[in-house]
A and B are shown apart, each in its own frame.
Chain A
Amino acid sequence: QQQVKQSPQSLIVQKGGISIINCAYENTAFDYFPWYQQFPGKGPALLIAIRPDVSEKKEGRFTISFNKSAKQFSLHIMDSQPGDSATYFCAATRNFGNEKLTFGTGTRLTIIP
Chain B
Amino acid sequence: GAVVSQHPSWVICKSGTSVKIECRSLDFQATTMFWYRQFPKQSLMLMATSNEGSKATYEQGVEKDKFLINHASLTLSTLTVTSAHPEDSSFYICSALTSGRYQETQYFGPGTRLLVL
B65: interface (CB < 8 Å): no
- Within 8 Å of chain A (Cβ to Cβ): is B104? yes
Is the pair A45, B34 in contact by a Cβ cutoff of 8 Å? no
Q: A34-B105, A97-B97 are known contacts. Are A106 and B43 too (CB-CB below 8 A)?
A: yes
Instruction: Bin chain B's interface residue count.
Output: 20 to 34
**B85, chain A: closest CB distance, angstroms:** 23
Which residues of the partner chain A approach B97 to less than 8 Å between Cβ atoms? 97-98
* A98→B103 CA distance, assembly (Å): 7
A contact residues, total (Cβ < 8 Å)? 23
A46 proximity list for chain B (CB < 8 A): 105-108
Interface-side segment among B13-21, B66-74, B75-83, B109-117 = B109-117
Docked pose: A89 CA to B107 CA in angstroms? 14
Q: How far is the CA of A110 from the CA of B94 in the complex (A)?
A: 26
- The answer to whether A89 and B44 have CB atoms under 8 Å apart is yes
Is A42 close to B, CB under 8 A?
Answer: yes
- Chain B neighbourhood of A95, CB < 8 A: 104
Residue contact B105 to A103, C-beta cutoff 8 Å: no
User: Chain A nearest CB: distance from B103 CB in Å?
Assistant: 4
Q: Is the CB of A103 within 8 A of B34?
A: no
Interface residues of B in 24-49 (CB under 8 A from A): 32, 34, 41-44, 46, 49
Instruction: With A41-B111, A96-B104 given, name 11 new contacts (CB 8 A).
Output: A32-B104, A42-B111, A43-B4, A46-B106, A51-B103, A96-B102, A96-B103, A98-B97, A100-B49, A101-B46, A103-B44
* Residues of chain B whose beta carbon lies under 8 Å from any beta carbon of chain A: 4, 6, 32, 34, 41-44, 46, 49, 91, 93, 95, 97, 100, 102-111, 113
